[in-house]
Structure 1
Amino acid sequence: MATPTPLPDTIADLLGLTGFLGEAVAMFIAAFLIGNIMLANAGVAGPWAKRKITAAFTDRIAVNRIGPFGLLIIPASAVQLMAKELIIPEEVDRPAYDLAPVVLAFSALLGFAVIPMGNGIHLADPESGLVFVFAVASIASLGLLMGGYGSNNKFSLLGGLRAVAQNVAYEIPLVVTAASVVLFTGTLQMSGIVAAQTETLVTIAGIRIPAWFAFVNPFAFVLFMVANLAEVGRNPFDTPEAPTEIVAGYMTEYSSIYFVLFYMGEFIHIFLGGAIVTTLFLGGPAGPVLPGFVWFIIKIWSVFLFTQWCRSAMPRVRIDQLIEIGWKGMLVLSFVNLVLTAAILGVTGL
């Protein structure tokens, strides 16, 4: 199967851009477009969709006064938050305090560089794309620790330490579970993983069931979804910012535009997690009738809806329980899944 032309190359051809400078301009335009699409999704999810979904689960109305369906709460909340005074506590570590929100948001946006969102809608398609997306997503742990340490607040420091402990405990099961998909595809290239899921798994009554890895290996899919919940900090794994214990964790001392960056980075990471789930287990942008990009957006929003359902329905676990689930439960199960997958592939010769 031919690899689709990356978006920067398509833009360069359309605009007649050549040479190093032309390629740089095309790359900037493509990155600007994809970045703003993801920012728009996070902008809708944070101020509006999160409230409406939570209200639906808890039998409330939520925002409905500002604009049709309350949609104007999105720009209103943005203006409100950015208009607030930026209060910097005394004796903070300014480099760490200032850079933490930027690191968190940037690491999430950078992960979308290798995610195939549709036919030719990707910035790059390196052979080690899966490794790249996990590597840049893990930089978020550094941002959370910087924010907690740099705030000169014990609650913030505890939140930062919890975030790192949680991410380490659940990133390993996440990567090991993803490795079981690599065993099926034989490649770390994101387009190759998507292409492997275009085949037909089974046909029932004339209905074609695609070979999405969520159907091929549902055990791995469930493991990945649970580990992803911990990575994006949604219930029952939101202990790094548990308001009943440590105020707001690593975000306690942040306000104004810094808080906006933290809040936005959190939701972009949720959509990045959804994009990884979509690519590895849900066939990427594949789907009938509608364009691939539309299917990609539908799928990442479906994962977002699942995280919000967990946020409304699941009680928070204690930090000791969280770590025990990660190291003694998820880690063991992820390796069991990897070994079983390898054994099945070896026996069947697939």
Structure 2
Amino acid sequence: MAAAVTLQQMLPETIADLLPFGGLAADVVGALIGAFLVANFLLINTAVAGPWAKRKITAAFTDRIAVNRIGPFGLFVIVADAVRLLSKELIIPEGADRPAFDIGPLLIPFSALLGFAVIPMGSGIQLADPETGLAFAFAASSIASLGLVMMGYASNNKYSLLGGLRAVASNIAYEIPLIVTALSVVLFTGTLQTSQIVAQQTEPFVALGGLTIPTWFAFVNPFAFALFTAANLAEVGRNPFDVPEAPTEIVAGFQTEYSSVYFVLIYLGEFIHIFLGGALAATLFLGGGSAPIAALNVIPGIVWFTAKIWAFFLFTQWARSAIPRLRVDQFIEIGWKGMLVLAFANLVLTAILVGVLA
């Protein structure tokens, strides 16, 4: 199913072409400006999603009234929460391993932002496009597991240590089926290059009444899409897989001892990871920045991409409000004995199908 595709110019190259100077300096400045723009795009989305949209969505599901007093529709609660959290005292536990205690919260948002470096967002917005882009995205997001261990260990709190170990155990249990399911898409496309994976999904799949449906892998292999979405929920810590941070299970897990700006970094990283999960789902199964119908591709790709990552965010909030939490033993058992087996079965069946069609 692999095909030759026309690749768009990367965002840093586009910016470099607009600069009044050239050479290496233009490349460096273009890369820095591109990274700054993408990071701020994600931070703005996260700022809206965390303090405001999360409350509004949860309130709608539970028939309550959410924030509505500070600014229009309560939007200024974003500023109020930022001031409130950043002005709190930063408390360092006695006996904490200070370097690890400080570095841990930085790794959570950093790993998610780094993963977006290879995600094609449509309209030529992509920072880099290496041949191993998909592997890079998964590797970057996995750095967060190191931060979880560091925070749990460095806090000098036995509950935090247990919470950190539990979080890593859950990440491993669901990251393997997540990656194995993604490999089924790689078998179809014959590449790990994210731009080519997206480009191949723009090919016609079926025509209905004059409307052309693209070859999104969510249509080609809906079972793999459902499996990837479920594993994605576990990776971003949303019900029924939110055991790593479940306050009713073990205080607040790895983040128990964190306050002020460190808590903000952890909270920020959590929501950027949700958007990264949505971005990976969009890239692998939903055509990236392409429209669901070819006729709607007149709308810029970045609009479709943003809509898709927000759709995944809304899905995670629905799951958080509607699905009860699993026990930790059920959580691990489903990962190792259920989803991992299904992921490998899907991979084998996909390999057979690709071999027959080749």
Letter in 2 for 1:292: G
* 2:353 alignment partner, SS class: helix
Determine the C-alpha separation between the residues in 2 that align with 1:78 and 1:17. Answer: 39
Q: 2:16·2:22 contact (CA, 8 Å) conserved in 1?
A: yes
Q: 1:17·1:23 contact (CA, 8 Å) conserved in 2?
A: no
The CA deviation at 1:208 is 1.5
The CA deviation at 1:247 is 1.4
The CA deviation at 1:20 is 2.2
Match of 2:25 among 21, 27, 30: 21
Match of 2:196 among 192, 196, 200: 192
Unaligned runs of at least 5 residues, structure 2? none
Q: Does 1:304 align with 2:313?
A: yes
* 2:315 alignment partner, SS class: helix
The CA deviation at 1:26 is 1.2
Letter in 2 for 1:228: N
Deviates more, 1:291-300 or 1:339-348: 339-348
Determine the C-alpha separation between the residues in 2 that align with 1:42 and 1:183. Answer: 33
Q: 2:19·2:26 contact (CA, 8 Å) conserved in 1?
A: no
Q: 1:229·1:235 contact (CA, 8 Å) conserved in 2?
A: yes
Letter in 2 for 1:31: A
* 1:49 alignment partner, SS class: helix
The CA deviation at 1:200 is 1.2
2:346 matched to which residue of 1? 337
Q: Does 1:134 align with 2:143?
A: no
Deviates more, 1:128-137 or 1:10-19: 10-19
Unaligned runs of at least 5 residues, structure 1? none
* 2:69 alignment partner, SS class: coil
Q: Does 1:209 align with 2:218?
A: no
Q: 1:79-158 alignment to 2 at 5 Å?
A: 79-158=83-162
Determine the C-alpha separation between the residues in 2 that align with 1:100 and 1:18. Answer: 39
* 2:181 alignment partner, SS class: helix
The CA deviation at 1:15 is 1.1
Match of 1:170 among 168, 174, 197: 174
The CA deviation at 1:221 is 0.1
Question: Structure 2 length normalisation: TM-score?
Answer: 0.96
Q: 2:181·2:228 contact (CA, 8 Å) conserved in 1?
A: yes
Q: Does 1:325 align with 2:334?
A: yes
* 1:138 alignment partner, SS class: helix
Q: Does 1:180 align with 2:184?
A: yes
Determine the C-alpha separation between the residues in 2 that align with 1:10 and 1:16. Answer: 13
Determine the C-alpha separation between the residues in 2 that align with 1:274 and 1:239. Answer: 20
Determine the C-alpha separation between the residues in 1 that align with 2:255 and 2:21. Answer: 43
* 2:24 alignment partner, SS class: helix
Determine the C-alpha separation between the residues in 1 that align with 2:344 and 2:134. Answer: 18
Q: 1:274-289 alignment to 2 at 5 Å?
A: 274-287=278-291, 288=296, 289=298
1:62 matched to which residue of 2? 66
* 2:32 alignment partner, SS class: helix
The CA deviation at 1:207 is 2.0
Letter in 1 for 2:42: M
The CA deviation at 1:162 is 0.8
The CA deviation at 1:19 is 2.3
The CA deviation at 1:348 is 2.5
The CA deviation at 1:106 is 0.4
The CA deviation at 1:222 is 0.3
The CA deviation at 1:263 is 0.2
Letter in 2 for 1:188: L
Q: Does 1:6 align with 2:10?
A: yes
Structure 1: 4+ residue segments shifted above 3 A = none
Determine the C-alpha separation between the residues in 2 that align with 1:76 and 1:253. Answer: 23
Q: Does 1:232 align with 2:236?
A: yes
1:35 matched to which residue of 2? 39
1:248 matched to which residue of 2? 252
Q: Percent identity?
A: 71
* 2:130 alignment partner, SS class: coil
Letter in 1 for 2:68: N
Q: 1:17·1:26 contact (CA, 8 Å) conserved in 2?
A: no
The CA deviation at 1:132 is 0.2
Match of 1:75 among 69, 76, 79: 79
Letter in 2 for 1:112: F
Question: Structure 1 length normalisation: TM-score?
Answer: 0.98
Letter in 1 for 2:110: F
The CA deviation at 1:120 is 1.5
How many aligned positions are there? Answer: 349
* 2:213 alignment partner, SS class: strand
